Structure 1
Amino acid sequence: MISNHKIATIVHDLEECFDGRPWYGDSLMGKLDSLDWQLVNERRYGKKSIAVLVRHILNWRVFVLKKLEGDFEYDLVIDGPNDWSEVNISEEVEWEGLKSELQQTQKAILHILSNSSDDLLEQKVPGKKYTFGNVLPSIAQHDIYHLGQIAMLYAMGKS
């Protein structure tokens, strides 16, 4: 019998933190949709803005997608050029586009996982020394970590 209990848990966590009703408060999209887009470029805490944090979340989700698709060559180096990308939002349509890209990664990741079994978690990430079992559960954790930073930056910008 094919088991997908662990994958189902990962999918649930991704859905809950992304646009569900998590126990800790706002979901990622709930928070992003509530923000005044005109404040997403402000840098009140180091060199990071809300827009940069969202792009960073997106960059790591693209990495996971590329690896799920079997791409050996694609890489993302911590603190490298495609980890923390510069972003400057000058129009609301650009902010909506960034959020839309984020939503597309969510749909794509969930689509792949919904067609996978727990066996995926034992497979090595293409081009890496670790398995998907190390990576996939951490997507939601990574989103939540940066959601906290986004909420803090937004609160600082409003005050």
Structure 2
Amino acid sequence: MHRDELLASPLAFMPPARLLDGLTPEEAARPITGVKHSIVEILAHMVYWQAWFLSRCTGVAAPMAEHAAEGWPAAAAGDWAPLREQLLEGLQRALELPENGRVDPPIEFPPLAEYTIGDAITHIAQHNAHHLGQIVILRQMLNLWPPPDGSYTW
């Protein structure tokens, strides 16, 4: 599978840029009864971990969050556009990383200690896919689906 298919132009689901299209900042921040995080909060979480993995792939020894809550930064309506841009820019950066090589220095968390750059990119893609699926469901709950260019219809 090509890296672009994993990150930016997946064949199994709608590309991230298109999936996020058509939401206003207010819609993205709208709370839903019984749901812990709004769309913009999920996006902030995705950006946080994507940026962390990308920094590790480029030799920055950024420490891993000690607690899961640290990976859920606060986000509000005004953060929507910058976060969306950061996510998409991060995907582009991931596409430009070298094909081979280890994450160096190694990640201090034992299950990730042997990660290659390819492993980290796969991790980013899986994590993003999980949360993009949540965003689709939240958009459906808010009657904001499909995005302006439509959805897959088979």
- TM-score computed with the length of structure 2 as normaliser: 0.76
Is 1:9 aligned with 2:17? no
In the other structure, the counterpart of 1:152 is: 137
Equivalent in 105, 126, 129 of residue 141 of structure 1: 126
- Superposed structure 1 runs of 4+ greater than 4 Å apart: 122-125
Q: Name stretches of at least 5 consecutive residues in structure 2 with no aligned partner.
A: 145-154
Give the alignment's Cα RMSD to 1 decimal.
Answer: 2.3
In the other structure, the counterpart of 2:12 is: 23
Equivalent in 43, 48, 64 of residue 59 of structure 1: 48
Structure possessing the higher relative contact order (Cα contacts under 8 Å, 6 or more residues apart)? 1
Segment of structure 1 superposing worse, 128-137 or 94-103 = 128-137
Cα-to-partner distance string for 1:6-48 (whole Å, 9 max, x where unaligned): xx7334321323xxxx233x22111111324321112224321
Secondary structure at the aligned position of 1:158 is classed as coil
* Cα deviation, residue 55, structure 1: 0.6
Give the whole-Å Cα distance in 1 for the aligned partners of 2:88 and 2:27.
Answer: 21
In the other structure, the counterpart of 1:43 is: 31
Tell me, yes or no, if the aligned pair for 1:51 and 1:88 is still in contact at 8 Å: yes
Is 1:84 aligned with 2:72? yes
Q: Name stretches of at least 5 consecutive residues in structure 1 with no aligned partner.
A: 1-7
Segment of structure 1 superposing worse, 66-75 or 56-65 = 66-75
Identity %: 22
Tell me, yes or no, if the aligned pair for 2:30 and 2:38 is still in contact at 8 Å: yes
Tell me, yes or no, if the aligned pair for 2:57 and 2:103 is still in contact at 8 Å: no
Higher-helix-fraction structure: 1
Secondary structure at the aligned position of 1:80 is classed as helix
In the other structure, the counterpart of 1:117 is: 99
Cα-to-partner distance string for 1:88-108 (whole Å, 9 max, x where unaligned): 114xxx422221111221222
Secondary structure at the aligned position of 2:68 is classed as coil
